[in-house]
Structure 1
């Protein structure tokens, strides 16, 4: 029997002035381990008058992970962080009881042609940490563990796997791994994984049980410890997952919690503008009153 329990196709979603490909959540699979939300941004070619501008908006109960392949994003938040993220680096923001941030094209690129391509990910927090103080960590690309193994380049972007640990300060057992195979390879990595696992194909193809799968798909494993597959030439994939939480998570707009009342309180706090502001920013994204839940279709 195939170890692939589900296939999730990328779906278009509008985040304001930018279209993305939504991968999680999905109606039949809301989370993979602690991973609750994944958006694929681009690849987009932006002209000199086109820029990414996501005004200040709030989060609770999660950590965000931004990982770029091309381009740059200026991150500003209510903690006081102001950091430009570039390809290969990691922005890891833990919202906890509440944080506000904006994401914009850096000033140095706003009047030039540019590209933008990457992943934006939310990782739910353990229930006991959902009300922790917010924090922000930026990890440069050179600090991320990367090595060669069986003809593949493996990069441990966050979490623990393969006997290694990324410097990104995660809050529960998990992993986010990039694997590049310049030449087609047979990979058997199940012994290095745990919990639930998903495989996202960015480029190239993955072959499993005689079936070939292409880009912009997530393959969810029935059993992460049996994760084995074959890749074609010039393939880039991401493996993500970890230990699932015992409690259900609820999600409304940018709010995640194991307690619906916490989400209701956050909604009212944002309506009343009681979240801390982002220094230097005056705009904000209003709470979507009519259809705040993320589309799970």
Structure 2
């Protein structure tokens, strides 16, 4: 049985210099999909200059951030001393835990001739018991992302978060969660079966796709019902398409979010701001970068 579509939306678009940012989640219809409470999509853009001193240091608490870069280069640094640089196809995960300040340089990929940048940032809500843990950081390069060729050479699937068959991401799981990047060749199709009560959504990047017999446009976020069933993806175009599929079990604890903090109560939000302004999150020191934690 195919899952029913709950709604679809294209989010809100803002411009940040040469970047077009599409705020996909939260949106008018929902604030979360499983543990995912935030999604910014950076549409493909040409960037001819490089950023070296960050795009604006800011704090986080109570979440893990996940940057997945389709094209480009992202350099991370934070107040816990973590640093790292990923290239096209790589990803970085940062557990903010009990408080951290971080920043990023988002540039074109110095290892290629392309000046295109294109990618995502997700926020993954942490269970209450993990919100008080110390910050952590992991960087994973493209060749270390679990990948599998689909049957009938239909394309491939990459496991960014969670598990799929015999593939497992190195990103820690604090609840049942998944984030897949699926590439489908022209004229091909692929289905994913999900269990009951699992929240799930898809996002289409630069091409249209047919999801459970209905066509959706590039840039659309599509959420599905929670009953067990499949999400069938068909590519009727003349070129390959990319589809992001993500979700997980429902986050049942209270959620209170404000600015860069996602906690379980308003009092915890107040504490998060107070601790930040009291300097308890530390400062970024670019002259004392720790060695990157890289999964190999």
TM-score, with length taken from structure 1: 0.85
Aligned mates of 2:108, 2:184 — CA distance in 1:
35
Distance 1:37 1:10, change over 3 A: same
Change (3 A) 1:209 1:115: closer
Shift of 1:202: 1.1
- Do structure 1's residue 268 and structure 2's residue 274 form an aligned pair? yes
Kept in 2, the 8 Å contact 1:195–1:243? The answer is yes
Provide the residue aligned with 1:91 in structure 2: 92
1:103 Cα shift? 0.8
Instruction: Tell me what 2:226 maps to.
Output: 223
CA contact (8 A) 1:204 1:232 kept: no
Query: Aligned pair in 2 of structure 1 residues 52, 16: CA closer, same or farther (>3 Å)?
Result: farther
- Alpha-carbon shift at residue 87 of structure 1 (Å): 1.3
Farther off after superposition, 52-61 or 71-80: 52-61
C-alpha change, 1:132 and 1:242, in structure 2 (3 Å) is same
Q: Which residue of 2 aligns with 1:103?
A: 104
- Map of 1:287 onto structure 2: none
Shift of 1:270: 2.7
* Structure 2: 5+ residue stretches without partners: 288-296
Task: Tell me whether 1:154 sits opposite 2:157 in the alignment.
Answer: yes
Q: 1:2 to 1:154 in 2, by over 3 A?
A: closer
Choose from 251, 271, 275 the match for 2:257.
251
Q: Deviations over 1:17-63 (max 9, x none)?
A: 85411100113200000000000113121233777942221000001
Secondary structure, aligned partner of 2:55: strand
Change (3 A) 1:17 1:77: farther
Relative distance call for 1:107 and 1:39 in structure 2 (3 A) is: closer
- The DSSP-based 3-state class of the residue aligned with 1:54 is coil
Q: Is the 8 A contact 1:17 1:52 kept in 2?
A: no
Select the residue among 203, 206, 219 that pairs with 2:206.
203
Map 1:103-182 onto structure 2 (within 5 A): 103-105=104-106, 114-150=115-151, 151-182=154-185
Seen in structure 2, the aligned counterparts of structure 1 residues 157 and 31 have a Cα distance that, compared at 3 Å, is same
Equivalent residue, structure 2, for 1:279: 285
Deviates more, 1:192-201 or 1:2-11: 192-201
Query: What's the secondary structure of 2:56's corresponding residue?
Result: strand
Contact 1:21 1:39 in 2 (8 A): yes
Contact 1:48 1:114 in 2 (8 A): no
Specify the alignment match of 1:232 in structure 2: 236
Residues 244/52 of structure 1: CA separation in 2 closer, same or farther (3 Å cut): farther
Output the TM-score relative to the length of structure 2.
0.85
1:260 deviation in Å? 1.5
Q: CA RMSD in A?
A: 2.7
Q: CA deviation at 1:231?
A: 2.5
Q: Is 1:212 equivalent to 2:186 in the alignment?
A: no
Unpaired runs of 5+ residues, structure 1, are: 282-297
State whether residues 33 and 199 of structure 2, in contact with CA within 8 Å, keep that contact through their aligned partners in structure 1: yes
How far residue 192 of structure 1 moved from its aligned partner, in angstroms, is 7.4
Contact kept? 1:205, 1:213, Cα under 8 Å: yes
After superposing the two structures, state which structure 1 stretch, 198-207 or 55-64, moved more. 198-207
CA shift for structure 1 position 210: 4.4
Deviations 1:150-180 (Å, cap 9, x if unpaired)?
A: 3131111111233432112232210000110
